């Protein structure tokens, strides 16, 4: 079965064959769930079915490489306190841990599905989510299992905080031993919150080494609440990404620029916590690989809107629209190791021949409208693995 999507006014492909990774008056052919052809509409081959984009813009579906969506409970009161002047200090994580432990599997799964549907409505086609609100062996394993039923990439975040009432040394043993072993067959990566109030340098090293010993990729939550070793450790250990990055030294930026570790910025979180915006402009100018993600979670960033993240990255972080779109698609794919084909998992985040056919059409003639019309629901139609799932 093949589909021709034609009449695309502006097509973002990220294909180096196309000047600036973009074409005008273009078309895409999808076949067997993959991109089979892209080019000028006038040259398009015939296909079994046809969709007319009527001059609208098309681009890869969003790749949201950082979310925490297996949770229960509500933290409106904490948000209100923050807006009244209190600062975010990660203490609220234990509030969500308590609610998550008390929830049934069905409640957690219903919540996850509801939040995923919201993300998909906004054009997201690949999404990573983390455990990290269970923090017992059984609760982390069930969080991972529930997530794995619904999302592309599941990350183990047992090292989110030491849960309330736990002995620190014993928890470190658990999270690098029995707990990690209980999820290792389900997750594709391990994350650690390397921050004052969470895990320090020595503890972070231990967690990254335990992941590496099991052949798992790693991510680091780093430099969110203050300067620290997060970036340095992520680069040293070859982590796929280091995320947050509100507090970077020039040395941190240079390290990222010289490494394959993706710098993931989370603009919605920076706004919601009233923390400094990550220096996305400086990171791009230095040559770092950049990703933009939502960090959707009930504490610091209760939105799964990649459109909002992209608009904020342009309006507040001073990226160009093209840079922000690339970071939210190809950059996110790289942050998940999904910019290359994996067994049974074709690459995502680009519209090149052989990539998974994940594509969104905007109700707009160009991607510029994502920032020009912030907050507007611009997603008109979405294809996921070649299937039209929205519009
Ligand atoms: O990425 N920083 C740590 N984890 C989440 C916050 C989780 C929470 O406060 O519930 C984050 O911002």
The whole-angstrom separation of Cα 46 and Cα 122 is 30
Domain match, 240 and 133 both: yes
Domain match, 302 and 382 both: no
- The pLDDT tens digits of the residues spanning 218-238 come to 999 999 999 999 999 999 999
Which SS3 state, helix, strand or coil, does residue 242 take? strand
Q: Which of 77, 93, 96, 159 to mutate to test the pocket of ligand 1 (most atoms within 8 A of CB)?
A: 93
Q: Is 219 assigned a ligand-binding role in the annotation?
A: no
In eight-state DSSP terms, residue 87 is P
The whole-angstrom separation of Cα 7 and Cα 2 is 17
- The pLDDT tens digits of the residues spanning 344-356 come to 999 999 999 999 9
| C-alpha 255 to ligand 1 mean position (Å) | 24
Percent of the chain surpassing pLDDT 70: 100
Q: Which domain holds residue 289?
A: 63-335
Whether 269 is in the pocket of ligand 1, judged by its Cβ within 6 Å, is yes
The answer to whether the CB of 239 falls within 8 A of the CB of 261 is yes
Q: What local confidence, expressed as pLDDT, does residue 362 receive?
A: 98
| Long-range contacts from 258-262, C-beta under 8 angstroms, 24+ separation | 259/235, 259/288, 260/289, 261/234, 261/235, 261/289, 262/65, 262/288, 262/289, 262/290, 262/291, 262/331, 262/334, 262/335
Q: What is the DSSP string of 300-333?
A: TB----HHHHHHHHHHTT---HHHHHHIIIIIHH
Q: What local confidence, expressed as pLDDT, does residue 146 receive?
A: 98
Whether 295 is in the pocket of ligand 1, judged by its Cβ within 6 Å, is yes
Q: What local confidence, expressed as pLDDT, does residue 89 receive?
A: 84
Domain match, 259 and 366 both: no
Domain match, 231 and 306 both: yes
Number of domain units in the chain: 2
| C-alpha 275 to ligand 1 mean position (Å) | 13
Domain match, 47 and 191 both: no
Whether 294 is in the pocket of ligand 1, judged by its Cβ within 6 Å, is no
Whether 120 is in the pocket of ligand 1, judged by its Cβ within 6 Å, is no
Domain match, 159 and 118 both: yes
Whether 193 is in the pocket of ligand 1, judged by its Cβ within 6 Å, is yes
Last residue of a domain, one of 335, 358, 379: 335
Q: Is 223 assigned a ligand-binding role in the annotation?
A: no
Domain match, 165 and 311 both: yes
Q: Which of 299, 302, 304 to mutate to test the pocket of ligand 1 (most atoms within 8 A of CB)?
A: 299
Domain match, 320 and 225 both: yes
Q: Is 360 assigned a ligand-binding role in the annotation?
A: no
* CATH code at position 303: 3.20.20.140
Q: Nearest-CA neighbor of 203 among 171, 178, 179? A: 171
Q: What local confidence, expressed as pLDDT, does residue 191 receive?
A: 98
The whole-angstrom separation of Cα 198 and Cα 85 is 22
* CATH code at position 23: 2.30.40.10
- The pLDDT tens digits of the residues spanning 278-319 come to 999 999 999 999 999 999 999 999 999 999 999 999 999 999
Whether 95 is in the pocket of ligand 1, judged by its Cβ within 6 Å, is no
The whole-angstrom separation of Cα 138 and Cα 99 is 15
Domain match, 44 and 144 both: no
| C-alpha 172 to ligand 1 mean position (Å) | 19
Residue nearest to atom 5 of ligand 1 (CA): 300
- The pLDDT tens digits of the residues spanning 127-177 come to 999 999 999 999 999 999 999 999 999 999 999 999 999 999 999 999 999
Q: Packing angle between helix 201-213 and helix 168-176, nearest 10 degrees?
A: 20
Q: What local confidence, expressed as pLDDT, does residue 90 receive?
A: 85
pTM of the model: 0.98
Domain match, 245 and 163 both: yes
Q: What is the DSSP string of 254-314?
A: HHHHTSS-EEEE-HHHHHHHTPPPP-HHHHHHHT--EEE---BBTTTB----HHHHHHHHH
- The pLDDT tens digits of the residues spanning 46-102 come to 999 999 999 999 999 999 999 999 999 999 999 999 999 999 988 899 999 999 999
- Number of neighbouring beta carbons within 10 Å of residue 245: 28
Domain match, 215 and 117 both: yes
The answer to whether residue 376 is domain-embedded is yes
Any bridge partners for residue 292, and if so which?
Answer: 265
Q: What is the DSSP string of 124-166?
A: EEEEEEE--S--SHHHHHHHHHHHHTT-SEEEEEEES-PPTT-
Q: What local confidence, expressed as pLDDT, does residue 287 receive?
A: 98
Structure tokens at 58: 């098309």
Question: Does ipTM top 0.95?
Answer: yes
Q: Is 338 assigned a ligand-binding role in the annotation?
A: no
Domain match, 309 and 358 both: no
Which SS3 state, helix, strand or coil, does residue 375 take? coil
The whole-angstrom separation of Cα 162 and Cα 372 is 43
């Amino acid at each position: 079965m093949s589909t021709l999507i034609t009449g695309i006014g502006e097509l973002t492909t990220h294909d180096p064959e196309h000047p600036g990774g973009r074409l005008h008056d273009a078309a895409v052919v999808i076949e067997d769930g993959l991109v089979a052809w892209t080019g000028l509409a006038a040259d398009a081959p015939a296909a079994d079915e046809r969709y007319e984009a009527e001059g609208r813009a098309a681009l890869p579906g969003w790749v949201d490489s950082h979310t925490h969506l297996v949770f229960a409970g509500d933290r409106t009161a904490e948000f209100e306190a923050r807006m009244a002047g209190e600062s975010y200090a990660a203490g609220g994580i234990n509030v969500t841990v308590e609610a998550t432990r008390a929830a049934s599997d069905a409640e957690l799964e219903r919540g996850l599905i509801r939040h995923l549907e919201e993300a998909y409505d906004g054009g997201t086609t690949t999404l990573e989510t983390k455990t990290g609100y269970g923090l017992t062996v059984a609760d982390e394993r069930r969080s991972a299992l529930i997530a794995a039923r619904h999302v592309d990439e599941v990350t183990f975040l047992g090292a989110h905080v030491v849960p309330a009432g736990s002995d620190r040394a014993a928890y470190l043993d658990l999270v690098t031993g029995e707990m990690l072993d209980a999820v290792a067959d389900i997750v594709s990566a391990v994350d650690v919150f390397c921050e004052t109030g969470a895990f320090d340098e020595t503890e972070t090293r231990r967690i990254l080494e335990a992941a590496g010993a099991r052949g798992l990729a790693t991510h680091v939550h780093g430099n969110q609440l203050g300067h620290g070793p997060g970036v340095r450790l992520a680069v040293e250990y070859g982590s796929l990404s280091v995320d947050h990055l509100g507090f970077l030294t020039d040395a941190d930026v240079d390290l990222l620029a010289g490494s394959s570790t993706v710098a993931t910025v989370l603009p919605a979180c920076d706004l919601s916590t009233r923390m400094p915006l990550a220096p996305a402009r400086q990171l791009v100018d230095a040559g770092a690989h950049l990703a933009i993600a939502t960090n959707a979670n009930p504490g610091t960033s209760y939105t799964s809107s990649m459109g909002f993240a992209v608009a904020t990255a342009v309006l507040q972080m001073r990226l160009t629209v093209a840079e922000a779109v690339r970071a939210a698609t190809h950059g996110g794919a790289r942050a998940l190791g999904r910019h290359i084909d994996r067994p049974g998992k074709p690459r995502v985040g680009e519209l090149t021949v052989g990539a998974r056919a994940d594509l969104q059409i905007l109700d707009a003639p160009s991607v510029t409208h994502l920032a020009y019309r912030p907050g507007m629901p611009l997603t008109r139609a979405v294809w996921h693995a070649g299937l039209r799932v929205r519009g």
